[in-house]
Amino acid sequence: MPQLIKLNTDFENWWFDWRHGTDTSADRADQARKGWETDTTNHTYVPIRPKCARRVLQALPVTNPQEYTFIDVGCGKGRMLLLALEHSFRTAIGVELRKELSDLAKLNLHNDDRARLCSATCMNVNAMEFEFPDEKLVVYLFNPFGEDVMRTVLENLGRSLESSFRDVWVIMDFPVYANVADSMPYLSFVTEGYDYRIYRAKSPELAAVAA
């Protein structure tokens, strides 16, 4: 059974890349790196399965995605950015520390018609230094790094909201550090599935009470 699951996953990954003309699958170098269980800062690149990504996006209670920018923090080769654009987000921004991955993400976005039309991009930047744009956002985190970095990123998002409040949703996929999001006074838990949790930013008044 495990071998069958792997074959199914490999085919799903191949089909996605073949259809989009992209390279978003993990290669041997990615798979050889230490994973989240030993690396407390930056985790190995593991692309989400397309069907799992679509399930999470369908669970997001946003009825007007065309008004939101989708941000994937720790986007790897950009697969989730492409999947988010299928969900009609206004545009998508990837944040990736590893230059070789961010370069591939940019190339993948360039090769996708929808991504070119909406000016989707990937930034080669440390997530802890990323400045969240002043617009409606859906922030996606697929367990990209350890607890300390996760806390810093979410605290930075909170400060951005204090400066300019707008509607912001946070998706934690494979939420190993859900406790970090749960501890943020500005985030309100909305819903969860088998392998994800979704939060929404509270109004400044409610966030102040929670703090």
Instruction: Out of 39-43, 130-134, 153-157, pick the least confident.
Output: 39-43
- The parent domain of residue 201 ranges over 2-210
Prediction pTM value: 0.88
Query: Nearest Cα to 119, choosing from 69, 74, 48?
Result: 69
Distance CA 190, CA 62 (A): 12
The structural domain count of the chain equals: 1
pLDDT value of position 32:
40
Q: Are 137 and 166 in contact (CB under 8 A)?
A: yes
- pLDDT digit string (tens) for 80-97? 999 999 999 999 999 999
**CATH code for the domain of 193:** 3.40.50.150
